[in-house]
Amino acid sequence: MKIAFFDAKPYDIESFQKTNEEYGQEIKYFKGHLTADNAALCRDYDAVCTFVNDDLSQEVINKLYQNNIQLIALRCAGYNNVDLQAVYKKIHVVRVPAYSAYAVAEHALALMLTLNRKTHKAYYRIRDNNFSINGFLGFDMHGKTAGIIGSGKIGRVVISILNGLGMNIIAYDKYPDKSLEKKFNLNFTDLHTLYRKSDIISLHCPLKKDSFHLINNESIAKMKTGVMIINTGRGQLIDTKALIRGLKSQKIGAAGLDVYEEESEYFFEDFSGKILSDDTLARLLTFPNVMVTSHQAFFTKEALHNIAHTTLNNIKAFTENKKLENEICYRCGRDECHKKKYGRCF
């Protein structure tokens, strides 16, 4: 197939070029995001390969369909940027449901430990020959309560890691697997209880209508004073303005964010010589107890290899008219039901 590959970074190109030696697909790399303005670039291609910040709205989908695009190959797990109604019976959409749960879970832990023990600040202080430890007071994570929202592949690895630190684990999942309670020494509970009891809250749930702004003024009010919030999921799980209010009032003790709800303009790009026009993001970055990373939780050698392999394998399955194991199902918005019954959505 001829594939138009958008939002191509040097590490993407290197990883896909190496993996594509096995598949032999024809790939053209474009640096920019896919948008309505550049969708015409896809005119001579069969498929597009996109990432989390590419625009797959109805307008863009319609243009892709008019240009005879048959397949959208997402090289990520989330698909909240895809208008599923617009692609229905027009374009198949496949994703990478699992690339490395360990990568994301370990990054969540890194954010927790860094915010707690202030190692990022210690690094710079020592380089200035300042050996004072004033302001670096942390807390023992052992014995504290961690609330995990979402107990899928990533959530389970986080639970396992925090168990190793001797934390008490409570979890919320819309579809809880009770067998995990004994296996991981955790207790499933409701969101109200999780907010009330947790010293650290870590988000590992998908972004859907019922999880949009899950962390908001109301939920923050229920939390312990001084709670730490970690988000390596999707930016729109958190109402950023509510988070800022919680930080200002000191209800929230720390926040570690690998994602931001309006990240598409900034994340993965270099703005080091420019002034941020996003006032909310700029305000967030002024807090000494906030750590923001640029959607890098997935960014390990193993994850990049798995992303490239799964994406190209999805494309190969499509070209060979085989069952699409990772197709997003338009019937249920997931990729489970057609896997068992249908094979393909249309």
Residues with catalytic roles: 234, 263, 295
Residues 6+ apart with CB under 8 A from 176: 151, 188
Rounded to whole angstroms, how far apart are CA atoms 253 and 171? 20
Beta carbons within 8 Å of 163's beta carbon, 6+ residues apart: 169, 184, 185, 186
What is the token pair recorded at 7?
Answer: 């939002």
Which two structure tokens, joined as six digits, stand for 92? 């198949």
DSSP 23-63: T--EEEE-SSPP-TTTGGGGTT-SEEEE-TTS-BSHHHHHH
CA nearest 4: which of 36, 35, 27, 37?
Answer: 27
Q: Which amino acid is at 216?
A: N
Q: In whole angstroms, how far apart are CA 259 and each of 9, 164, 236?
A: 18, 26, 8
